[in-house]
């Protein structure tokens, strides 16, 4: 049965407007309207996902390159010079300028393009309409624009790799004055202009998407889908979008001031500066710390923008595959809410040693350590969900367990760094790198992998190869720990981040062997990700076909749609919801979909 | 050539893995979905507990290998650093216990409750007592950590003792400039537009300038300025006044367990009390090449990694001997004002008016 007939029959429901709109569209879909300028949330989510994967590949490759320098500082890679050219590799060695550019672009790309757009963009677009019972987003057109702004941001960022003075090389945080002064570093010349343009396009994309997600969740839930019946994925994506909407504009303002300082002679961030070879600058009265406040007012919420979707998906996937309800559903929502609020009140913990007033610092210590409480609640609730379950190790479930493990490991060191009395020692050392890569980088990556493996059948009507997925999981989990665990020790030796070469430092050169080991593991782990990428694209076309609507035996609404849902998602009426999403093994029944009315003799909980 | 060989090998390995994966999928279809799932479950369940055991052994082994390379293997070089170490150990014990308990439970539960025919999953949606328990306990533990942490934090960031010596540290791309206040104990005024990299690297105000509203500051005349190496006295508190000439840097002192950003336009401070001389520390660390290094901890440009300074901690006597040999920066810039030179020069001018006269000389030149 074709979708438009079904949609016509379904008209008259709460989503009349949306379905009428699609009816008009579905008739003449050319390649362009279906795959390129699509307004179908499922297609847009796939566009986000595939663009995100491409960026993850590039960002990962950059880390391999700079790890080559760190692990093998004395080696000459002439073949690399043939591939990349003299700007990046000179005499077989990655140049300092290239090293700092790689570090910077790796960070920017991974945080924003992969773990924000690739993660939220993919799963908010895909899951929100499907799990709340809507035919599409509140504004499919804005949704499409969101993707195209993201793509444009990516293309501008990519182009910055090819300018003569190189891409921006002042770190992903782009602290002024280094980022504000063209003469302070070659990377701060036109590379920084392109970086700023790319980031501004990205903020626009992110806001267009976020407003849409919030509007859709609040207004377009199907009949019976009260807020407290929403799957935790939706709650997490909702808070993610709220955080993004409230914090990205602040980053935007910070960038605007930076553009003024760079181009129009203002002194928002500049004062008392003398540049070698240039002389004293005329700027007076600005403060470099202002930029840090504006940056981290987004920068810290940003780590929760990255983390919350992973938490939501982990909760959902864990419940489905443990065949047990998520433990403490309301506490999970409450802790998400607490994290959402607190995420706005902790930004200055990145600035304990910036000369911040110590009293202000102490307030931020208190608020920062407070965040450990909702995080602890989540971890214990996940553990209790596993307890006495009947666990199926699907690839999605494996990555979920890996996510929890990494979240614990990285989260606990947050207690170290959030304590200013310890941060004054460990700030900007490898300890920080270990902390945030485990808790935010790899953990969120694991959440993303879990989501991809779990919802791939819904996205493409096929399964990904399980054996490849198992290999991918175990090597990546072991790799993540082998790479980042020893970095704690480097941090405890005071080894600073972002050093091109440690060999001249008496205090840090004892880790040469360790760095070589880590770099080797990085290469192996990166190669394993290629296995995933291959599995992903191969399975889109050749994967084992899904034969049932609900392959995981899950309760949520997306598994009531046809195996390959058209634009509009449901044939016929949108199903009505009668219960929460987590009735697994209740009253002796393996699972009870949300669409099933509550029976008269069902037990209450 | 080797690179092509490597690529070929990698591609081959990929192909083999892919073929195995594809074959196992066909086998899975033949066996039936249920049996395949059970088999995969068993393997992964076993790997869960295997990972836990290997992981714990790995943690121990990693610690054996690397602990001695960290700063914790030796005592802190500053009095303040001891407090950092003690809170570090407290935090380590607390987070370490939580880490072990939660990771063991996570992997053990995964193994123990893997899917089995006769498993009866427990419908357990919530339990208020448990949830309150693991809200309250972390809150209490964290409160303790906050209290200890803030007590130390206010000590670190509080006022330096009265008897502390004062040293100014200025970061620039890519090195450090140190300034001692000299005999008067006052760091004279400076202004960034007066900077001349060759003779006046800090922009000390040595002349009157009506357009910039500057007045020659006599307090600058005895200031001692040097690069590369900073001398400190064992057991004597020192207060650093930290600044930057261009972009943000950071005075990172790993052995003293402290650091503070150097921000252009905004002076920051940090104080500490060195506990061991460099010589003593060489014995403690059993490394004859040991030196206290100042590492820049804030990305400041392409030379960031080479922005090193050295701190020599010496006894008071050695310090006094060394200090007596230092010449004020002013005299290095204007040798004719140096009293040492004046002894030879019979046309010596009164010291009091030296500044003004010098200015005239500069103006004439």
Chunked mean pLDDT (size 10), chain A, 605 residues: 38 41 55 84 96 97 95 90 89 93 96 96 96 95 95 96 94 94 94 96 96 96 95 97 96 96 95 93 93 95 96 97 95 96 95 94 94 95 95 96 97 95 95 96 96 97 94 97 97 95 94 96 95 96 93 94 92 93 91 91 77
Confidence of residue B344 (pLDDT cuts 50, 70, 90): low
How would DSSP label each residue in A226-291?
-GGGS-HHHHHHHHHHHHHHHHHHHHHHHHHHHHHHHHS---SS--S-EETTTEE-S--S--HHHH
Question: Which SS3 state, helix, strand or coil, does residue A605 take?
Answer: coil
Q: Is the pLDDT of residue B346 over 80?
A: no
Question: Using CA atoms, how far apart are residues B223 and B186, in angstroms rounded to an integer?
Answer: 8
Identify the pLDDT of residue A68: 93
B121–A388: do the CB atoms touch at under 8 Å? yes
* A409 in contact with B, Cβ within 8 Å: yes
B131–A331: do the CB atoms touch at under 8 Å? yes
Element (H, E) at A318: helix A288-322
Question: Which SS3 state, helix, strand or coil, does residue A340 take?
Answer: helix
CB A377 within 8 A of CB B25: no
Which phi and psi angles does B170 have, rounded to 5°? Answer: -125, 130
Which positions in chain B touch A382 (Cβ < 8 Å)?
106
Question: Using CA atoms, how far apart are residues A211 and A244, in angstroms rounded to an integer?
Answer: 9
Residue B78 forms beta bridges with which residues?
B274
Q: Residues 224-283, chain B: which have Cβ within 8 Å of A? A: 245-248, 250, 252, 254-255, 257-261, 263-268
Which positions in chain A touch B245 (Cβ < 8 Å)?
273-274
Q: Under 8 Å CB-to-CB from A427, ≥6 apart: which residues?
A: A352, A353, A417, B250, B259, B297
Assigned token pair, A308:
């919350």
Give the minimum alpha-carbon distance from B67 to chain A in angstroms, rounded to a whole number: 7
* A604 in contact with B, Cβ within 8 Å: no
Q: In this predicted model, which residue has the larger pLDDT, B118 or A222?
A: A222
Question: Using CA atoms, how far apart are residues B269 and B166, in angstroms rounded to an integer?
Answer: 10
Assigned token pair, B88:
């570090």
CB A180 within 8 A of CB A243: no
Nearest to A358 among B22, B44, B157 (CB): B157
* B55 in contact with A, Cβ within 8 Å: yes
Residue matched to tokens 């070089």: B77
Give the minimum alpha-carbon distance from B99 to chain A in angstroms, rounded to a whole number: 7
Nearest to A485 among B62, B98, B197 (CB): B62
**pLDDT tens digit sequence for A366-397:** 999 999 999 999 999 999 999 999 999 999 99
Which positions in chain A touch B70 (Cβ < 8 Å)?
489, 492-493
Identify the pLDDT of residue B73: 94
| Window from A362-371, B305-314, B348-357 with minimum mean pLDDT | B348-357
State the average pLDDT over residues B30-55: 91
Q: What 8-state DSSP symbol labels residue B250?
A: E
Whole-number percent of chain B with pLDDT over 70: 93
Element (H, E) at A66: helix A41-71
Identify the pLDDT of residue A587: 87
* A113 in contact with B, Cβ within 8 Å: no
* A195 in contact with B, Cβ within 8 Å: no
Question: Using CA atoms, how far apart are residues A48 and A62, in angstroms rounded to an integer?
Answer: 21
* B14 in contact with A, Cβ within 8 Å: yes
A419–B248: do the CB atoms touch at under 8 Å? no
Question: Using CA atoms, how far apart are residues A107 and A488, in angstroms rounded to an integer?
Answer: 19
From A315, A286, A208, A313, select the one nearest A252 (Cα to Cα).
Answer: A208
Question: Using CA atoms, how far apart are residues A170 and A174, in angstroms rounded to an integer?
Answer: 5
Question: Using CA atoms, how far apart are residues A327 and A189, in angstroms rounded to an integer?
Answer: 52
CB A288 within 8 A of CB A180: no
Q: Is the pLDDT of residue B113 over 80?
A: yes
How would DSSP label each residue in A492-503?
HTTPBSS-S--T
* A275 in contact with B, Cβ within 8 Å: yes
Q: Is the pLDDT of residue B360 over 80?
A: no
| Window from A173-182, B247-256, B351-360 with minimum mean pLDDT | B351-360
Identify the pLDDT of residue A604: 76
Nearest to A353 among B110, B192, B261 (CB): B261
Q: Between chain A and chain B, how many beta carbons pairs sit less than 8 Å apart?
A: 376
CB A584 within 8 A of CB A591: yes
Q: Is the pLDDT of residue B166 over 70?
A: yes
The torsion defined by the Cα of A358, A359, A362 and A368, in degrees rounded to 10, comes to -100
B260–A355: do the CB atoms touch at under 8 Å? yes
* A489 in contact with B, Cβ within 8 Å: yes
Nearest to B146 among A369, A391, A504 (CB): A369
Question: Using CA atoms, how far apart are residues B58 and A172, in angstroms rounded to an integer?
Answer: 32
Identify the pLDDT of residue B342: 67
Question: Using CA atoms, how far apart are residues A177 and A184, in angstroms rounded to an integer?
Answer: 8
Identify the pLDDT of residue A12: 39
CB A580 within 8 A of CB A131: no
Q: Is the pLDDT of residue B355 over 70?
A: no
Residue A337 forms beta bridges with which residues?
none
* A11 in contact with B, Cβ within 8 Å: no
Assigned token pair, A454:
């779990």
State the CB neighbour count (10 A cutoff) for residue A478. 18
Question: Using CA atoms, how far apart are residues A584 and A384, in angstroms rounded to an integer?
Answer: 15
Which positions in chain A touch B149 (Cβ < 8 Å)?
365, 419-422
Question: Using CA atoms, how far apart are residues B165 and B102, in angstroms rounded to an integer?
Answer: 48
Residue matched to tokens 């394993």: A528
Which positions in chain A touch B272 (Cβ < 8 Å)?
none
Q: Is the pLDDT of residue B353 over 80?
A: no
Give the minimum alpha-carbon distance from B334 to chain A in angstroms, rounded to a whole number: 22
* B32 in contact with A, Cβ within 8 Å: no
Question: Using CA atoms, how far apart are residues A187 and A87, in angstroms rounded to an integer?
Answer: 12
CA distances to A509, B40, B119 from A395, in Å: 40, 10, 21
Nearest to A408 among B102, B260, B266 (CB): B102
* B152 in contact with A, Cβ within 8 Å: yes
Which positions in chain B touch A535 (Cβ < 8 Å)?
21
B301–A184: do the CB atoms touch at under 8 Å? yes
From A529, A492, A493, A528, select the one nearest A508 (Cα to Cα).
Answer: A493
Which phi and psi angles does B195 have, rounded to 5°? Answer: -65, 135
* B288 in contact with A, Cβ within 8 Å: no
A178–B197: do the CB atoms touch at under 8 Å? no
* B51 in contact with A, Cβ within 8 Å: yes
**pLDDT tens digit sequence for A324-360:** 999 999 999 999 999 999 999 999 999 999 999 999 9
CB A198 within 8 A of CB A153: yes
Which phi and psi angles does A246 have, rounded to 5°? Answer: -85, -25
- What is the pairing mode between strands B165-172 and B238-244? parallel
Whole-number percent of chain B with pLDDT over 90: 72
Identify the pLDDT of residue A8: 38
Identify the pLDDT of residue B112: 94
A355–B150: do the CB atoms touch at under 8 Å? no
Q: Is the pLDDT of residue B348 over 80?
A: no
- The predicted model scores a pTM of 0.92
Nearest to A272 among B37, B192, B297 (CB): B192
* A468 in contact with B, Cβ within 8 Å: yes
CB A563 within 8 A of CB A528: no
Question: Using CA atoms, how far apart are residues B24 and A531, in angstroms rounded to an integer?
Answer: 16
Residue A438 φ/ψ region, left for φ over 0, alpha for ψ in the -120 to 50 degree band, beta for the rest: alpha
ipTM of the complex: 0.92
How would DSSP label each residue in A189-203?
SHHHHHHHHHHHHHH
Which positions in chain B touch A390 (Cβ < 8 Å)?
113-116, 119-121
Give the minimum alpha-carbon distance from B348 to chain A in angstroms, rounded to a whole number: 35
Confidence of residue B358 (pLDDT cuts 50, 70, 90): very low
State the CB neighbour count (10 A cutoff) for residue A45. 24
- What is the pairing mode between strands A279-280 and A589-591? unpaired
* B79 in contact with A, Cβ within 8 Å: no
| Window from A289-293, B120-124, B186-190, B282-286 with minimum mean pLDDT | B120-124
How would DSSP label each residue in B145-184?
HHHHHHHHHHHHHSPPPTT-EEEEEEEETTEEEEEE-TTT
A393–B41: do the CB atoms touch at under 8 Å? yes
B113–A361: do the CB atoms touch at under 8 Å? no
Please name the residue of chain A whose CA is at the shortest distance from the CA of residue B50: A474
Please name the residue of chain A whose CA is at the shortest distance from the CA of residue B81: A425
Which positions in chain B touch A187 (Cβ < 8 Å)?
302
Give the minimum alpha-carbon distance from A523 to chain B in angstroms, rounded to a whole number: 12
Question: Using CA atoms, how far apart are residues B357 and B354, in angstroms rounded to an integer?
Answer: 5
Q: In this predicted model, which residue has the larger pLDDT, A150 or B8?
A: A150
Nearest to A389 among B113, B195, B301 (CB): B113
From A65, A232, A48, A236, select the one nearest A153 (Cα to Cα).
Answer: A48
* A280 in contact with B, Cβ within 8 Å: yes
Q: Is the pLDDT of residue B245 over 50?
A: yes
B18–A534: do the CB atoms touch at under 8 Å? yes
Give the minimum alpha-carbon distance from B282 to chain A in angstroms, rounded to a whole number: 12
CA atoms within 13 A on the CB side of A481: 21
From A229, A417, A247, select the one nearest A326 (Cα to Cα).
Answer: A229
Q: Under 8 Å CB-to-CB from A517, ≥6 apart: which residues?
A: A71, A482, A486
Which positions in chain A touch B268 (Cβ < 8 Å)?
354-355
């Amino acid at each position: 049965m074709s979708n438009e007939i079904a949609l016509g029959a379904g008209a008259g429901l709460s989503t009349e407007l949306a379905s009428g709109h699609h009816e008009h569209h579905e008739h003449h879909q050319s390649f362009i309207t279906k795959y390129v300028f699509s307004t179908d949330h499922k297609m847009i989510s796939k566009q986000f996902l595939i663009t995100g994967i491409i960026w993850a590949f590039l960002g990962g490759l950059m880390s391999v390159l700079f790890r080559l320098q760190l692990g093998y500082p004395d080696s000459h890679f002439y073949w690399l010079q043939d591939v990349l050219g003299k700007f990046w590799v000179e005499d077989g060695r990655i140049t300092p300028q290239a090293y700092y550019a790689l570090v910077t672009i790796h960070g920017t790309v991974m945080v924003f393009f992969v773990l924000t757009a690739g993660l939220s963009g993919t799963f908010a677009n895909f899951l929100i309409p499907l799990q709340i019972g809507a035919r599409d987003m509140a504004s499919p057109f804005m949704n499409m624009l969101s993707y195209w702004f993201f793509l444009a941001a990516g293309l501008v960022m990519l182009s910055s790799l090819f300018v003569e003075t190189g891409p921006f090389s002042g770190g992903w945080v782009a602290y002024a004055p280094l980022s504000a002064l063209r003469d302070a570093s070659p990377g701060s010349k036109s590379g920084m202009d392109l970086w700023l343009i790319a980031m501004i396009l990205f903020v626009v994309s992110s806001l267009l998407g976020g407003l849409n997600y919030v509007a859709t969740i609040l207004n377009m839930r199907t009949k019976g889908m009260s807020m407290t019946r929403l799957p935790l994925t939706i709650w997490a994506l909702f808070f993610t979008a709220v955080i993004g909407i409230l914090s990205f504009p602040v980053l935007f303002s910070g960038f605007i001031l930076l553009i003024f300082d760079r181009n129009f002679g203002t002194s928002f961030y500049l004062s008392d500066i003398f540049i070698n070879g240039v002389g004293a600058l005329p700027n007076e009265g600005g403060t470099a710390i202002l930029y840090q406040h504006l940056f981290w007012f987004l920068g810290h919420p940003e780590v929760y923008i990255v983390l919350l979707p992973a938490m939501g998906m982990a909760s959902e996937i864990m419940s489905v595959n443990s065949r047990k309800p998520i433990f403490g559903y309301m506490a999970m929502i409450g802790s998400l809410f607490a994290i959402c609020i607190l995420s706005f009140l902790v930004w200055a913990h990145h600035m304990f040693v910036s000369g911040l007033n110590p009293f202000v610092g102490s307030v931020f210590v208190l608020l920062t350590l407070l965040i450990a409480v909702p995080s602890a609640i989540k971890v214990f609730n996940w553990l209790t969900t596993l307890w006495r379950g009947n666990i199926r190790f699907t690839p999605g479930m494996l990555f979920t367990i890996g996510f929890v493990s990494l979240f614990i490991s990285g989260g606990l060191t947050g207690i170290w760094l959030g304590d200013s009395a310890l941060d004054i020692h460990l700030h900007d050392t490898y300890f920080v790198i270990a902390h945030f890569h485990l808790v935010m980088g790899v953990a969120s990556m694991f959440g993303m992998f879990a989501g991809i493996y779990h919802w791939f059948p819904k996205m493409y009507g096929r399964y990904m190869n399980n054996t490849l997925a198992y290999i991918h999981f175990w090597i990546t989990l072991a790799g993540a720990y082998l790479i980042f665990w020893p970095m704690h020790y480097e941090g405890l030796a005071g080894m600073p981040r972002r050093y091109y070469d440690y060999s001249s430092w008496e205090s840090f050169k004892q880790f040469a062997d360790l760095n070589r080991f880590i770099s080797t593991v990085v290469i192996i782990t990166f190669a394993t990700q290629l296995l995933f990428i291959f599995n992903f694209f191969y399975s889109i076309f050749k994967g084992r076909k899904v034969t049932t609507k609900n392959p995981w035996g899950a309760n949520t609404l997306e598994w009531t749609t046809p195996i390959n849902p058209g634009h509009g998602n449901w044939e016929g009426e949108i199903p009505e919801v009668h219960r929460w999403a987590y009735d697994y093994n209740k009253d002796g029944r393996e699972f009870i979909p949300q669409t099933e009315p509550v029976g008269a003799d069902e037990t209450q909980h | 050539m080797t690179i092509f060989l490597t690529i070929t090998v990698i591609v081959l390995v990929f192909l083999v893995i892919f073929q195995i994966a594809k074959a196992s999928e066909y086998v899975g279809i033949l066996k039936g979905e249920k049996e395949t799932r059970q088999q995969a479950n068993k393997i992964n369940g076993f790997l869960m507990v295997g990972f836990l055991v290997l992981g714990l052994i790995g943690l121990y082994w990693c610690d054996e290998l690397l602990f001695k390379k960290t700063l914790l293997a030796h005592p802190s070089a500053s009095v303040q650093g001891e407090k950092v170490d003690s809170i570090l150990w407290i935090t380590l014990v607390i987070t370490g216990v939580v880490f072990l308990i939660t990771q063991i439970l996570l992997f053990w539960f995964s193994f123990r409750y893997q899917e089995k025919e006769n498993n009866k999953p427990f419908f357990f949606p919530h339990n208020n007592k448990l949830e309150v328990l693991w809200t309250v306990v972390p809150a209490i533990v964290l409160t303790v950590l906050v209290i200890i942490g803030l007590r130390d934090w206010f000590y670190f960031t509080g006022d330096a003792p009265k008897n502390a010596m004062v040293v100014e540290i200025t970061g620039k791309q890519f090195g450090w400039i140190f300034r001692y206040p000299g005999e008067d104990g006052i760091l004279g005024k400076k202004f960034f537009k007066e900077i001349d990299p060759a003779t006046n690297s800090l922009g000390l105000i040595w002349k009157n300038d009506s357009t910039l509203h500057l007045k020659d500051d006599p307090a600058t005349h005895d200031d001692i300025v040097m690069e590369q190496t900073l001398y400190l006295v064992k057991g004597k508190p020192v207060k650093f006044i930290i600044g930057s000439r261009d972009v943000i840097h950071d005075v990172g002192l790993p052995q003293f367990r402290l650091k503070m950003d150097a921000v252009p336009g905004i002076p920051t401070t940090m104080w500490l009390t060195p506990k061991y001389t460099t010589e003593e520390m060489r014995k403690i660390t059993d490394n004859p090449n040991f030196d206290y290094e100042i590492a820049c901890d804030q990305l400041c440009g392409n030379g960031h990694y080479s922005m090193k300074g050295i701190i020599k901690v010496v006894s008071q006597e050695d310090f006094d001997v060394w200090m007596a040999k230092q010449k004020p920066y002013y005299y290095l810039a204007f040798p004719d004002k140096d009293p040492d030179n004046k002894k030879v020069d019979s046309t010596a001018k009164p010291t009091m008016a030296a500044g003004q006269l010098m200015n005239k000389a500069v103006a004439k030149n």
